Amino acid sequence: MNLSQKSSQKKIYAIIAIVIVVVAAIGGFYYYQLSQGPKTKSVAVYSYVSDFPDLDPSSAFEDEQVILANTYEALVYFDPSNAQPLQPWLATSWNNSADGLTWIFHLRTGVTFHDGTPFNAQAVKFSIERTKTLGLGGAYIWDPVNSVNVIDDNTVQIQLSYPAPVPQMASSQYAAWMISPGIPANASDWFNAGHDAGTGPYMIQSYQKGFEVTLQQYPGYWKGWSGQHFDNVIFRVDRDPSVRLQAVQSGDADMTLDIPVDLLTNIQSNTNVVVIDSKAYRNLVGSINTVKAPTDNVLVRQAISYAFPYQDVIDSVWHGHARQSTGPVPTGMTGHFDDLPQYSLDLTKAQSLLTQAGYPNGGFSLTLTYTSGDEVEKAVAELYKAQLAKLNIDLNIQEMTTHAKYALARGDPTQAQNIILFYWWPTYITAYDFLFNLFHSEKKHIFNFSYYNNTQYDNLIDQASQLEGTNPTQAMQMYKQAQMMLIQDAAALFIFDQDTTIIYNSRVHNLTDNPAYIETIFFYDTWEEAPS
Amino acid sequence: MCGIAIIAFFVFVAIFAPLLAPFPAEGAGLPNPPNKFLPPSFVHPFGTDYLGRDVLSRVILGSQISLSVAVTVIVLAIIIGTPLGAIAGYFGGKVDDVIMRVTDVFLSFPSLLLAIILLATLGPGLTNAMISLSLTWWPWYTRIMRAQTVSLRERTYVEASKVIGVSDFWILIRHILPNAITPILVQGTMDLSSAILAEAALSFIGLGAQAPSPEWGLMVSTGRIYILNYWWFPTFPGLAIFAIAVAFNLFGDGLREILDPKTRRFVEG
Amino acid sequence: MPAGLPRYIARRLVLALFVLLAVVTFTFIVARVVPSDPAELYVGPKATAEQRARASVELGLDKPLYAQYFNYLSDLIRGNWGISLRAHTSVLGDILIYLPATLEIIFLANLIAVMVGIPLGVYSAVKKNSMLDQLGRLTAISGVSIPSFWFALLLQLLFFGRLHILPLEGRLSTDVQLYYPLKTITGFYTLDSLLTLNLIAFVDALWHLILPAIVLATYPIGLITRMTRSMMIEVLRENYIRFARANGITERIVIFKYALKNAIIPTLTVLGLSFAYSITGAVLVEIIFGWPGLGTYTLNAIIEGDYPAILGVTIFGTIFYIVINLCLDISQSYLDPRVRLT
pLDDT tens column, C202-259: 888 888 898 899 999 998 888 888 888 877 777 777 766 777 777 777 766 666 666 6
Chains A–C, number of C-beta pairs less than 8 Å apart: 156
| pLDDT in the model for residue A24 | 75
Q: Judge whether B30 and A386 are in contact, CB under 8 Å.
A: yes
Give pLDDT, residue B109: 75
Q: For residues A398 and A420, is the Cβ–Cβ distance under 8 A?
A: no
Burial zone of A142 (CB within 10 Å; 0-12 exposed, 13-18 middle, 19+ buried): buried
More confident residue, B64 or A368: A368
Statement: residue A3 has pLDDT above 60: no
Q: Is the model more confident about A16 or about C5?
A: A16
**To 10 degrees, the CA torsion angle through C323, C326, C327, C331?**
180
> Is A225 in a helix, a strand, or coil?
coil
> In this predicted structure, what is the pLDDT of residue B266?
36
Could you list the beta-strand ranges (E) of A79-160: 86-88, 91-96, 102-107, 145-152, 155-160
Inter-CA distances, A270 with A48, A119, A245, A264, B230, Å: 21, 46, 12, 11, 18
Is the pTM higher than 0.90? The answer reads no
Q: What residues of C are in contact with residue B117 (Cβ under 8 Å)? A: 27, 30-31, 302, 310, 314
Residues of B in contact with A316 (CB under 8 A): 33-34, 36, 51
Residue C86 has its nearest CB partner, among A53, A410, A447, at A53
Q: Report the residue from B224, B242, B266 with minimal CB separation from C233.
A: B266
CA distance A53 to chain C (A): 5
> Quick count: other Cβ atoms within 10 Å of Cβ A473?
7
The chains in contact with chain A, meaning 3 or more Cβ pairs closer than 8 Å, are: B, C
Q: What is the pLDDT of residue B262?
A: 53
CA distance A288 to A271: 45
User: Mind listing the pLDDT tens digit for each residue in C116-127?
Assistant: 888 888 888 777
Chain A environment of C33 (Cβ under 8 Å): none
* Alpha-carbon gap: B206 to the closest alpha carbon of chain A (Å): 7
**Nearest Cα to C285, choosing from C198, C199, C156?**
C156
Nearest to A209 by CA among A67, A69, A73: A67
pLDDT at B265 over 60: no
| 8 Å CB contact of B104 and C19 | yes
Smallest CA–CA distance from C158 into chain B, residue: B228
Q: Is B10's pLDDT higher than 60?
A: yes
Distance, C-alpha A211 to centroid of its chain: 19
Residue A381 pLDDT level (bands cut at 50, 70, 90):
very high
d(C-alpha C158, C-alpha C166), whole Å = 9
State residue A155 phi and psi, 5-degree precision.
-135, 130
> Does residue A375 belong to the interface with chain B, where contact is any CB pair within 8 Å?
yes
**Res. B268: pLDDT tops 50:** no
Contact B269 C284 (CB under 8 A): no
Task: Determine the Cα–Cα distance for residues A263 and A241; give it in Å rounded to an integer.
Answer: 9
Nearest CB among B37, B206, B211 relative to A262 is that of: B37
Find all residues with CB under 8 Å of B70, minimum gap 6, and list them.
B192, B193, B195, B196, B199, B248
A477 vs B18, higher pLDDT: A477
CB distance A99 to A144 below 8 Å: no
CA A197 to each of CA A92, A119, A189, B50, C331: distance values in angstroms, whole numbers, following the listed order: 21, 11, 13, 45, 53
Query: Which of the residues A34, A39, A161, A242 would you substitute to probe the C interface, choosing the one with the greatest number of C C-beta atoms within 10 Å?
Result: A34
Q: Are C314 and C27 contacting, i.e. CB atoms less than 8 angstroms apart?
A: yes
Supply the pLDDT for residue B264.
40
pLDDT of A145 reads 94
Helices B111-122, C307-335: crossing angle, 10 deg rounding: 150
Three-state DSSP string of A314-363: HHHHCCCCEEECCCCCCCCCCCCCCCCCCCCCCHHHHHHHHHHHCCCCCC
Q: What digits encode the pLDDT tens for the residues A276-290? A: 887 789 999 999 999
Q: Does B252 touch chain C (CB under 8 A)?
A: no
Q: What is the mean pLDDT of chain C?
A: 79
**What mean pLDDT comes out for the span C142-160?**
86
Among C199, C288, C296, whose Cβ lies nearest the Cβ of A27?
Answer: C199
Q: Are the beta carbons of B206 and A372 separated by less than 8 Å?
A: yes
Q: Which range has the top average pLDDT, A454-458, A470-474, B81-85, B176-180?
A: A454-458
How much is the pLDDT for C35? Answer: 54
pLDDT at C271 > cutoff 70: yes
Is pLDDT at A75 greater than 80 in this prediction? yes
At residue C319, the pLDDT reads: 82
CA distance C263 to C235: 7
Q: For residue C34, what pLDDT is reported?
A: 62
User: Which helix or strand (DSSP H or E) is residue A284 part of?
Assistant: strand A273-288
Interface of B with A (CB under 8 A): 29-31, 33-34, 36-37, 50-51, 120, 123-125, 206, 210-212, 222, 224-230
| CB-CB under 8 Å, A381 with B211 | yes
Is A407 at the interface with chain C, CB within 8 A? yes
Q: Which residues in chain A (30-89) have CB-CB distances under 8 A to chain C?
A: 30-31, 34-35, 39-41, 43, 45, 51, 53-54, 56, 59, 61-62
Could you tell me what percent of chain C has a pLDDT over 90?
A: 4
Mean pLDDT, residues B248-255: 81
Per-residue model confidence (pLDDT) at position A454: 93
Amino acid at the residue A146? N
Residues in chain B: 269
Q: What pLDDT band is residue B261 in, cutting at 50, 70 and 90?
A: low
Contact between B104 and C33 using a beta-carbon 8 Å cutoff:
no
The pLDDT score that the predictor gives to residue A214 is 92
The whole-number average pLDDT for the span B29-46 is: 80
How many residues are there in chain A?
532
A222-258 pLDDT, tens digit per residue, is: 999 998 899 999 999 888 888 888 888 878 889 998 8
% of chain A exceeding 90 in pLDDT = 54
Whether A339 shows a pLDDT value over 70: the answer reads yes
Q: For B30-39, B239-248, C145-154, which range has the lowest pLDDT when averaged over its residues?
A: B30-39
Whether A209 sits inside 8 A of C98 (CB atoms) is yes
How does pLDDT run across C42-69, given as a tens digit for each residue? Answer: 777 666 667 777 777 777 777 777 777 8
From B51, B225, B227, residue closest to A382, measured CB to CB:
B51
**A158: closest CA among A217, A106, A232?**
A106
Residue C237 backbone phi and psi in degrees, to 5: -85, -15
Amino acid at A143: D
Helix (H) or strand (E) holding A192: helix A188-192
Report pLDDT for B118.
79
Q: Is A315 on the interface with B (CB under 8 A)?
A: yes
Task: Give all chains having 3 or more CB-to-CB distances under 8 Å with chain B.
Answer: A, C
Residues of A in contact with C90 (CB under 8 A): 189
Q: Which residue has the higher pLDDT, A504 or A250?
A: A504
- Name which of A118-127, B101-110, B212-221, C210-219 the model is least confident about: B101-110
Average pLDDT for B31-51: 82
A257: left (phi over 0), alpha (psi -120 to 50) or beta: beta
User: A91 pLDDT band (50/70/90 cuts)?
Assistant: very high
Whether C157 and B227 lie within 8 Å, measured CB to CB: yes
> Taking residues B72-86, what's their average pLDDT?
89
Interface test with C, best of A243, A246, A371 (most C CBs within 10 A): A243
- Among residues C286, C273, C289, C331, the alpha carbon closest in space to that of C313 is found at C286
- Inter-chain touch C305–A403, beta carbons under 8 Å: yes
Q: Please tell me if residue A239 touches chain B, with a CB cutoff of 8 Å.
A: no
Residue C44 near residue A138 (C-beta atoms within 8 A): yes
Q: Please, what is the end-to-end C-alpha distance for chain A in angstroms?
A: 64
Provide, rounded to the nearest whole percent, the portion of chain B with pLDDT above 70. 94
| Chain C contact for A437 (CB, 8 A cutoff) | yes
* Mean pLDDT value of segment C294-307: 80
Q: Report the chain B residue with the minimal C-alpha distance to residue C288.
A: B224
The model's confidence at residue B170, banded by pLDDT at 50, 70 and 90, is confident
Q: A317 with A261: CB under 8 angstroms?
A: yes
pLDDT value at residue C81: 82
Q: Quick: pLDDT tens for A163-182.
A: 888 999 999 999 999 999 99
For residue A237, the surrounding DSSP H or E stretch is: strand A232-237
User: Which residues of chain B have a CB within 8 Å of the CB of A262?
Assistant: 36-37, 50, 226, 229-230
C168–A243: do the CB atoms touch at under 8 Å? yes
**Interchain CB distance below 8 Å, B31 and A381:** no
Residue of B65, B20, B27 whose CA lies nearest to B212: B27
* Residue C142 touches chain B, beta carbons under 8 Å: yes
Residue in chain A closest to C200 (alpha carbons) equals A27
Contact A470/B at CB under 8 A: no
Cross-chain residue pair B111–C154, CB shorter than 8 Å:
no
Nearest C-alpha of chain B: how many angstroms from C22? Answer: 7
